Amino acid sequence: MSENEFEIVEVITEVTDGEGNLIIDDLVTVVDSDGNVVASDETIIMQDAEGDIVIDEIVSVIGENGELEVVAEEIVVGLNEG
């Protein structure tokens, strides 16, 4: 990778907790040529046994202090009414 190139890395983790809730964590990062994360988009999805679902998406970019800063967050709740 040359000095000005970026790489996109995605990691998806799926687990079921002790209460039967399905949790999926989808993390997408943009990494520079030195291996530093310069941006991330993380989506966490939780679905319980009744079919209710919560989706939390967080978008972060590298700030002036060199740390990732949240620039957007959206939470969506869907309740199974059937």
Model confidence at 79, pLDDT cuts 50, 70, 90, reads: confident
Residue 55 lies in domain:
6-78
Query: Is 20 among the domain residues?
Result: yes
Query: Is 71 among the domain residues?
Result: yes
Alpha-carbon dihedral 71, 61, 9, 34, rounded to 10 degrees: -170
SS3 for 5-71, per residue? CEEEEEEEEEEECCCCCEEEEEEEEEEECCCCEEEEEEEEEEECCCCCEEEEEEEEEECCCCCEEEE
Domain count for the chain: 1
Query: Is 1 among the domain residues?
Result: no
Average pLDDT over every residue of 40-65: 94
pTM of the predicted model, to two decimals? 0.82
Using one digit for the tens of pLDDT, what is the confidence trace for 3-51? Answer: 679 999 999 999 999 999 999 999 999 999 999 999 999 999 999 988 8
Which amino acid is located at 5 in the chain?
Answer: E
